[in-house]
Amino acid sequence: MTDFDVVIVGAGAVGLACGYALAKRGKSVAVLERESVIGSGISARNSEVIHAGLHYPTGSLKARLCVAGRHALYAFLKSHNVAHQRCGKLIVATEDSEIPALERLKQQAEINGVEGIRWLTGADARALEPQLNAVMALESPESGIFDSHGYMFALQGEIEAHGGVVVLASPFEGAAPSTEGFTVRVGGPTPASISTSQLVIAAGLGAQTCAHAIEGFPPARIPQLHYGKGNYFALAGVKAPFARLIYPPPIPGALGTHYRRDLGGIARFGPDLQFVDHEDYVVDPARAASFYQTVRRFWPALPDGALQPDYAGIRPKLHGPGEHQGDFVIDSETLPGLVALFGIESPGLTSSMAIGDEVAAHLSA
């Protein structure tokens, strides 16, 4: 007998979604979180966009889990009264040379099974969003925004309602395989050793460190972590110009600096992509210059001085500058009874419930 059927490391959106998926299948679950609150990692520093799933390559986990996760997420948010808006998104070409990129995106969206994508002329787009500069646009009606913290609290509630526990201030310090599964070392104010049949690493930026602390996990199977910082600027002193999400065509390694009006009505631009060598969440005001340039392509009326440094998040990337952007890694093969998640960058929030189902399927196989 072990203390738990499954121990999950990390109480971000993904670890909590894994906990919910496993608890509702009747497993006794403990989610270990090193911080004193849930959801203070990557899940607290992002765009809170529900992605439709247009961008991701054919056959990738990102493509499949984003579309499945979006359906599951909207249903969960509705049934749990978590604030969200299916506000839709426009991906805009501001000059003719950008239209081929949108054509490729539309084809990819169709392959990925994204519903409702349609072309808009510049005039159609301006009829929806009068301040927009666009020669053509793609409309994605299934894209939206949501309250990610409300979502994570609802997941925690579900885990606890199914008899599971979310244990705060409890850093995972390491694990060793045992005859019944794993013995897990937990640090913090009351260090402990607990036994579990199965183990899930959903530690975001800490995933590689956790994997290195598992006896028998070959270092060669741990993908290298790169920090892909994304900076945001908020719009100050001006009314939010658009109701929908506005995106430029994608850039290598990211979706491009976009516009969103959050559920509280605040307009923000970002994230950009800046590779850094350590966790650093300070937004350099000097980056505003490139934001003005990018944003004015689709919103020429952006006034001088209206962008204020806001916040930053860090993507747990598995590729460095100039390298091919990889997929999510869901490693269920290195050790029996272990699933380790690496590189859960965007669209990880949108995909989280589908990742939970995928992890549960691996652990019951």
Ligand X SMILES: Cc1cc2nc3c(=O)[nH]c(=O)nc-3n(C[C@H](O)[C@H](O)[C@H](O)COP(=O)(O)OP(=O)(O)OC[C@H]3O[C@@H](n4cnc5c(N)ncnc54)[C@H](O)[C@@H]3O)c2cc1C
- Point out which span in 115-123, 237-245, 297-305, 338-346 binds ligand X (CB under 6 A): 338-346
Among 276, 359, 259, 358, which Cα is nearest to 315's? 276
Question: If binding is defined by CB under 6 A, does position 226 make contact with ligand X?
Answer: no
Q: Which of 202, 330, 353, 360 binds ligand X (CB under 6 A)?
A: 202
Measured CA angle at 112 (ends 357, 129), to 5 deg: 110
Contact 72, 107 (CB under 8 A): no
- Point out which span in 3-11, 79-87, 105-113, 125-133 binds ligand X (CB under 6 A): 3-11
Q: Please, where are the H alpha helices in 166-300?
A: 207-212, 288-298
Question: If binding is defined by CB under 6 A, does position 344 make contact with ligand X?
Answer: yes
CB of 57 to ligand X, least distance (A): 16
Residues in region 11-70 near ligand X by CB under 6 A: 11-15, 32-35, 40-43, 45-49, 51
CB of 95 to ligand X, least distance (A): 26
Residues in region 243-302 near ligand X by CB under 6 A: 271
Question: If binding is defined by CB under 6 A, does position 203 make contact with ligand X?
Answer: yes
CB of 7 to ligand X, least distance (A): 10
In which residue are the tokens 């970002």 written?
270
CB of 167 to ligand X, least distance (A): 9
Strand, coil or helix: 37 = coil
Question: If binding is defined by CB under 6 A, does position 112 make contact with ligand X?
Answer: no
Residue 203 contacts by C-beta under 8 Å, 6 or more apart in sequence? 9, 10, 15, 172, 209, 210
| Segment (H or E) for 349 | helix 348-364
* Residue whose CB is less far from ligand X, 130 or 264: 264
In which residue are the tokens 């460095």 written?
320
What is the pairing mode between strands 29-32 and 4-9?
A: parallel
Question: If binding is defined by CB under 6 A, does position 166 make contact with ligand X?
Answer: no
